[in-house]
């Protein structure tokens, strides 16, 4: 039997687009001689649909799309993910499910049993876990169909008390198929490969796995669909961050024409780069936007965001606004102009000095002669926020936020100033990774000016200001932040690593004290195992770890 895997980019709630794309790929797979074509988890409605699932009309549209897809399955079968109703009164109203369609008929429905409810996942909010499992028989082949997490309960510390494959294997299937919506992080592809290989080995069956690709707001899906033999050897791996369709021939329990291959190792920073470019691109395309604006300071963070935006949207669709203050250095302005020239994007130079002076004059009476401090620095940052938002309102640009993860973590930013924006491009990228990203972007030629990379980072909101005046050096800061945020280490654990106690406690206090700021910032493109946003939910007024 010939089985095609369709690794596609869906759009949450865009039934017309998703349905057309699925039908188009049914036709392409049929033309390629496939007997069966397999699409991703919740492909019909897009993943994650979140509270759209609570609308009756949304579920009806899913059902109608499923029927339309079925009408095109003539001479070819398909497996496609969508939510289906729970006919039992007890339990949640829906299942996360997949149709098996053949001869224009919905022949069977597989339901997901293991519903992730951690990090960015919230499936038990909407879905009832399956309790019954049946293999699918088609053209002399028995298929054990599972949905994403159903294969992830295989490690030494199982999260769930049961395993769907333990039930399906009793029916003596010939092959496993798993459909997924598995989000990207720069560590997750390695974990995914190990889990899938372990399943193939444990159940002694070949495994075909299809993942979706593309970004849904902050969540990025990298594709990387895979095929394994029954010994757990990887036979094929589809490209990452691209739509793809490929057909495989299954003979008994063997994939014909393929022998074991090694995974091609891609550096984390290259994966992060590609993920961020896709994240920007899909945020704009799926939201109906085309043009971006950002503040370009001459510093490395805004330079990285400008570079990524130019690659995602085309330089002709990127407006970089240089907003020098009375404290801005000449070299910062020149560095920004050099970057603009290198990428060919649009730019404007709009000084905020006059606006800041006007605010100083306006507030002088209320401030009663108190000395210059953080207040006046924030007024400058907020003046810049007003400028870029004015450009957004006047010309229809969408504002890109340029705060990095180190700054977001410790609250080193100004609410309604440099923390404003529609999407946080690098808010899940530590400052030390930002430098790696700059070198990666410059790997073929100098695009980000060398001076931007080597000069000490500064907000330039007071004379001679440097980030190091307020923060530890970034190598130390980022190491401590990673231990605390990604690895959830305690202060005692981190101190035991050799870091000074006062420094560790100060950093952790800064992280927890900045929660109210992060709560008001834009969604952040997720590239790490633990990003700020839906995957890290902390109370704002909590005392623990304060």
CA atoms within 13 A on the CB side of 101: 28
Q: What is the DSSP letter of 311?
A: H
CB contact at 8 A, 484 and 493: no
Distance CA 53, CA 288 (A): 22
CB contact at 8 A, 307 and 285: no
> What is the chain's Cα-based Rg?
26
CA 278 vs CA 167, 184, 307, 322, 355: distances in Å:
38, 11, 13, 26, 36
Active-site entry in 45, 62, 73, 112: 112
Q: Where is the binding site, in residues?
A: 118, 182, 295-302, 378, 402, 407, 517
3-state secondary structure of 210: strand
Bridge partners (DSSP) listed for residue 177: 145, 208
Q: Where is the binding site for deamido-NAD(+), in residues?
A: 378, 407, 517
**Residue 78 designated active-site:** no
Q: Where is the binding site for L-glutamine, in residues?
A: 118, 182
Active-site entry in 73, 148, 408, 420: 148
Q: Pick the closest to residue 387 from 309, 295, 300, 517 (CA basis).
A: 295
**Residue 112 designated active-site:** yes
CB contact at 8 A, 211 and 8: no
Active-site entry in 30, 41, 420, 489: 41
Distance CA 3, CA 36 (A): 5
Q: Pick the closest to residue 248 from 263, 224, 266, 227 (CA basis).
A: 227
Q: Pick the closest to residue 8 from 20, 29, 22 (CA basis).
A: 22
Q: Pick the closest to residue 406 from 301, 534, 544 (CA basis).
A: 301
**Residue 310 designated active-site:** no
Helix axes 474-485, 431-441, angle to 10 degrees: 110
Long-range residue pairs from 85-92, CB within 8 A, at least 24 positions apart, any chain: 85/59, 86/128, 88/128, 91/128, 92/124, 92/126, 92/127, 92/128
Distance CA 85, CA 94 (A): 4
Element (H, E) at 168: helix 164-168
Long-range residue pairs from 459-467, CB within 8 A, at least 24 positions apart, any chain: 459/377, 459/381, 459/418, 460/297, 460/325, 460/327, 460/328, 460/329, 460/332, 461/325, 461/327, 461/376, 461/377, 461/380, 461/381, 462/327, 462/372, 462/377, 463/327, 465/327, 467/412
Catalytic amino acids? 41, 112, 148
């Amino acid at each position: 039997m010939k089985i095609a895997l369709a690794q596609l980019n869906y759009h949450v709630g865009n039934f017309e687009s998703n349905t057309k794309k699925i039908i188009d790929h049914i036709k392409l797979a049929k033309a390629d001689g496939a007997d069966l074509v397999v699409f991703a988890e919740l492909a019909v409605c897009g993943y994650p649909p979140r509270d759209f699932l609570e609308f009756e009309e949304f579920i009806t549209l899913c059902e109608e799309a499923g029927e339309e897809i079925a009408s095109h399955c003539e001479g070819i079968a398909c497996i496609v993910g969508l939510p289906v109703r729970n006919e039992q009164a007890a339990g949640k109203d829906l299942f996360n499910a997949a149709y098996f369609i053949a001869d224009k008929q919905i022949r069977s429905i597989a339901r997901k049993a293991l519903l992730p409810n951690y990090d960015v996942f919230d499936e038990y909010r909407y879905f009832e876990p399956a309790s019954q499992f049946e293999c699918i028989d088609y053209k002399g082949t028995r298929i054990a169909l599972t949905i994403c997490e159903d294969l992830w309960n295989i490690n030494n510390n199982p999260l769930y008390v049961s395993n769907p494959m333990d039930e399906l294997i009793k029916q003596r299937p010939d092959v496993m198929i798993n459909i997924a919506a598995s989000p990207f992080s720069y560590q997750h592809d390695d974990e995914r490969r190990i889990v899938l290989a372990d399943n193939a080995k444990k159940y002694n069956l070949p495994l075909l796995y299809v993942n979706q690709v593309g970004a849904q707001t902050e969540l990025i899906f990298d594709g990387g669909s895979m095929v394994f033999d029954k010994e757990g050897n990887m036979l094929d791996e589809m490209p990452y961050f691209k739509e793809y369709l490929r057909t495989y021939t299954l003979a008994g329990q063997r994939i014909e024409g393929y022998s074991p291959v090694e995974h091609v190792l891609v550096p984390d920073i290259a994966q992060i780069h590609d993920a961020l470019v896709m994240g920007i691109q899909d945020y704009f395309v799926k939201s109906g936007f085309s043009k971006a604006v950002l503040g370009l300071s001459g510093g490395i963070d805004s330079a990285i965001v400008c570079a990524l935006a130019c690659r995602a949207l085309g330089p002709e669709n990127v407006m970089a606004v240089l907003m020098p203050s009375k404290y801005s250095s000449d070299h910062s302005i020149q560095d920004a102009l050099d970057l603009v020239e290198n990428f060919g994007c649009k730019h404007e130079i709009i000084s905020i000095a006059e606006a800041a002076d006007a605010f100083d004059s306006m507030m002088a009476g209320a401030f009663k002669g108190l000395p210059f401090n953080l207040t006046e620095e924030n007024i400058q940052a907020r003046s810049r926020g007003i400028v870029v938002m004015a450009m957004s309102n006047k010309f229809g640009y969408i504002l890109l936020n340029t705060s990095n993860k180190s700054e977001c973590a410790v609250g080193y930013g100004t609410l309604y100033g440099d923390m404003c924006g529609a999407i946080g491009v690098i808010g899940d990228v530590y400052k030390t990774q930002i430098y790696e990203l700059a070198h990666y972007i410059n790997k073929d030629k100098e695009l980000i000016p060398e001076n931007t990379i080597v000069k000490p980072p500064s907000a330039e909101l007071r004379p001679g200001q440097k980030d190091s005046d307020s923060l530890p050096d970034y190598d130390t800061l980022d190491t401590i932040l990673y231990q605390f945020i990604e690895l959830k280490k305690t202060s005692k654990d981190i101190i035991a690593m050799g870091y000074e106690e006062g420094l560790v406690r100060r950093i952790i206090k800064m992280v927890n004290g900045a929660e109210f700021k992060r709560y008001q910032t834009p969604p952040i493109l997720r590239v790490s195992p633990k990003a700020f946003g839906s995957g890290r939910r902390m109370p704002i007024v909590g005392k623990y770890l304060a």
